């Protein structure tokens, strides 16, 4: 099997997160026909792995095998130096407020600030990590990873992006990811860096 993605190929974006679907579609530059896992009625697997790469592979494999299409999955999150790397792979779960309730990242960002204060930590260094995996139905998987470093600011600023974007300022920038124009963010983000690695491997 040739591990290559061909222009116009239909890909399942293995997420129910509308923000991630948009970002992944943008980063794919219109090269492919994309459909979200949620639009196909595919269930989201429990993210049980201990690493971003492990969870990305799990999600891509699940979607590919269920849809008989090549699937692309992302697992990403925020790590904070002053919290010993937390929330890390638990980033999405920090936004959970209870069974049946949607994830609330305002709640998650407030928790980050609260836990830093509880530790008396002034260390606001942080980094976003993105792992991307492409899986073929009942076949191989290719996985890559990207990272962007920065600092946290409170209160958060901006309504663009999603997740923890409003509290993260990448090194060398003055705007949060939540304030940046999407094109500017895509040029430097962890997801963009992972995509560059993926393009080199598969396009």
Give the DSSP H or E segment for 72: strand 70-80
Q: Cα separation of 174 and 164, whole Å? A: 16
Token output for 55: 């969870």
Q: Cα separation of 77 and 38, whole Å? A: 21
Token output for 7: 């222009």
Strands (E), 81-177: 125-135, 141-152, 168-170
Q: Let me know: does 54 contact 135? Beta carbons within 8 Å.
A: no
Q: Tell me the angle at which helices 190-202 and 18-27 cross, rounded to the nearest 10 degrees.
A: 50
Token output for 74: 């992302």
Q: Cα separation of 190 and 91, whole Å? A: 15
From the list 86, 87, 192, the residue with the least C-alpha distance to 144 is 192
Active centre residues (catalytic): 75
């Amino acid at each position: 099997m040739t591990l290559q993605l061909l222009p116009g190929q239909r890909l399942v974006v293995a997420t129910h997160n509308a923000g991630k679907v948009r970002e992944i579609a943008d980063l794919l530059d219109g090269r492919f026909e994309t459909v979200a896992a949620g639009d196909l009625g595919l269930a989201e697997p429990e993210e049980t792995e201990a690493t971003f790469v492990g969870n990305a592979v799990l999600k891509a494999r699940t979607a590919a095998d269920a849809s008989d299409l090549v699937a692309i999955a992302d697992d990403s999150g925020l790590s904070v130096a002053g919290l010993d790397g937390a929330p890390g792979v638990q980033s999405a779960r920090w936004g959970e407020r209870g069974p049946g309730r949607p994830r609330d990242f305002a709640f998650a960002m407030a928790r980050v600030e609260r836990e830093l204060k509880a530790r008396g930590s002034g260390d606001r260094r942080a980094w976003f990590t993105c792992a991307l995996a492409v899986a073929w139905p009942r076949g191989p998987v290719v996985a890559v990873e990207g990272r962007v470093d920065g600092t946290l600011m409170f209160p958060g600023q901006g309504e663009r992006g999603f997740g923890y974007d409003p509290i993260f300022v990448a090194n060398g920038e003055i705007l949060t990811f939540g304030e940046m124009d999407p094109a500017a963010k895509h040029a430097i983000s962890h997801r963009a860096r992972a995509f560059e690695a993926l393009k080199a491997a598969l396009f």
